[in-house]
Amino acid sequence: MRFHHSKDSDQNFWVSYADLMAGLLFVFILVLGAIVVKYVFIQNDLELQKNTLIHKEKELLEKNHNVSSLSDEISMLKQTIVTMTHSLEEARHIIIKEKMENNATHEKLVFSLEEIEALKRLLSDTQLTLDERQGELVLLQTLLQDNNTLVKLKEAQIDQLNQSLIEKSEAHQTLVDDLNVTKARIKNLTGIRLKVIQELKTKMGRSINIDPNSGAIRLPSSVLFDVGSYEIKPEAKKHLKETLSPYFSVLLENEEIRHTIDKIIIEGHTDSDGSYMNNLELSQKRALSVMAFIYSWDEKRNPLLQTYLSAQGRSYSDRILKKGIEDKEASRRIEIKFSLSNKQAIEEIERFLKK
């Protein structure tokens, strides 16, 4: 029985303990729930306060900005007031100064009767002076008009002189142009000799030595004549004809060149052995022999030869020297040269001078 009672007591204890623990757990849950609810409310309240605080800070910043703007405006107003004060002070000084000047001017304007009379006399004298000056001004205006008329006349004369100068300049330019044209023509005439020499070189080749300055050719007397003789060697005639034919062909058959030729001269030259007169006779006969030989080629060309060809002896008046010593072999020679007519050049110069 006792055992049974103890078992029930233990069972009740544990039931009571379980109820107690259940009650404590319930109380704990309630407390925990209350804590959570309170925490949530506190958090919401803090968030609300935070938002309120932020809003207050914004308002405070706006007020501070407004206060700063008002402060700046007040400073500007103060500066404006100071500036206006200075301006008013300056204006006051100016007014005082003007008042003093007006007083001084007023004092100066207060003249005595004597001073007024003196001023009237001075005014009268000034009026007379003005009248005199007016007369002088009229006279000066008249002189100025005369001068203007004279200037216009001078300008007209200057215009005439300028026109005359222009006409003379044009005439001078025309004269210069004519001179240049004449120079070119004369230069062209002087260049004819070079043209003829070049044509001779082309026609005769390099076998014959042609003087580059005069266009003359030299033929040794020893090849053409025996010593002391003026008759052409028979064996030299063929070579002489072959040499002289192209020479005369260039000078006489080319009409452009022939019109510029004045003379074709055959000159005989000797060395200084013997007397001058004997050498003169010998050189003359040798030149005539060469001339007669040229005439014998073609009788149709003889009229041209009669017009242009001539022969003369020079004896030893034109010897050839080498280092100051006579070269007798070279001095004994026949020279054939031509001279250009300067008639056209002279006509060009006379025509220009007449202009």
The percent of residues in the chain predicted with pLDDT above 70, rounded, is: 84
pLDDT score, position 281: 96
More confident residue, 308 or 3: 308
Higher model confidence: residue 290 or residue 196? 290
Output the pLDDT for position 177: 65
With respect to residue 7, please indicate whether it lies within any of the assigned structural domains: yes
The mean pLDDT value for 192-210 works out to 78
209/349 same-domain check: yes
In tens, the pLDDT along 128-173 reads: 776 777 777 777 778 778 777 877 777 888 878 778 878 777 776 7
Is 200:250 a contact under the CB 8 Å cutoff? Answer: yes
- Residue of 220, 251, 249 whose CA lies nearest to 236: 220
At 3 the pLDDT is: 47
Predicted pLDDT of residue 167: 78
We report the CATH number of the domain holding residue 218 as: 3.30.1330.60
Per the structure, the complete domain to which residue 42 belongs is given by 1-83
In a domain, 321, yes or no: yes
Helix (H, G, I), strand (E, B) or coil at 265: strand
Kindly state whether residues 66 and 195 are assigned to the same domain: no
pLDDT in tens, 214-229: 889 999 999 999 999 9
Q: pTM for the full model?
A: 0.47
Residue 19 or residue 68, greater confidence:
19
pLDDT tens-digit series, residues 277-319: 999 999 999 999 999 999 998 788 889 899 999 999 999 999 9
Is 243 inside any structural domain? yes
Do the strands 309-313 and 261-269 form a parallel or antiparallel pair, or are they unpaired?
parallel
Helix axes 192-204, 234-248, angle to 10 degrees: 130
Query: Per the domain annotation, does 52 fall within a domain?
Result: yes
Mapping DSSP to helix (H, G, I), strand (E, B) and coil, where does residue 204 land?
helix
Please indicate, yes or no, if residue 218 is contained in any of the structural domains: yes
| The total number of structural domains that make up the chain | 2
Average pLDDT in the chain:
80
Got the DSSP string for 126-189? HHHHHHHHHHHHHHHHHHHHHHHHHHHHHHHHHHHHHHHHHHHHHHHHHHHHHHHHHHHHHHHH
pLDDT digit string, tens, across residues 62-104: 777 776 777 777 778 678 777 777 777 787 788 788 777 766 6
Residues contacting residue 314 through CB under 8 Å, at least 6 positions apart? 267, 268, 269, 280, 283
Q: Which region among 26-35, 176-185, 192-201, 329-338 has the lowest average model confidence (pLDDT)?
A: 176-185
Instruction: Give yes or no: residues 68 and 205 share one domain.
Output: no
Instruction: Among 20-24, 56-60, 270-274, 322-326, name the one with the lowest average pLDDT.
Output: 56-60
* Predicted pLDDT of residue 348: 57
Question: In this model, does residue 9 exceed pLDDT 60?
Answer: yes
**Is 149 a domain residue?**
no
pLDDT bucket at 113, cuts 50 / 70 / 90:
low
Q: Which residue has the higher pLDDT, 321 or 147?
A: 321
Which of 83, 105, 123 is a domain's end point?
Answer: 83
Domain boundary among 83, 98, 120: 83
Residue 94 covered by a domain: no
**Looking at the domain assignment, is residue 30 inside a domain?**
yes
Task: Assess contact for 315 and 283: CB atoms under 8 A.
Answer: yes
DSSP class of residue 336?
A: E
Q: For 141, list phi and psi in degrees, rounded to 5.
A: -60, -40
Name the phi and psi angles at 186, rounded to 5.
Answer: -65, -40
* Domain end marker among 51, 83, 115: 83
Sign of torsion over alpha carbons 274, 275, 276, 278:
negative
Looking at the predicted structure, is the pLDDT value of residue 24 above 90? no
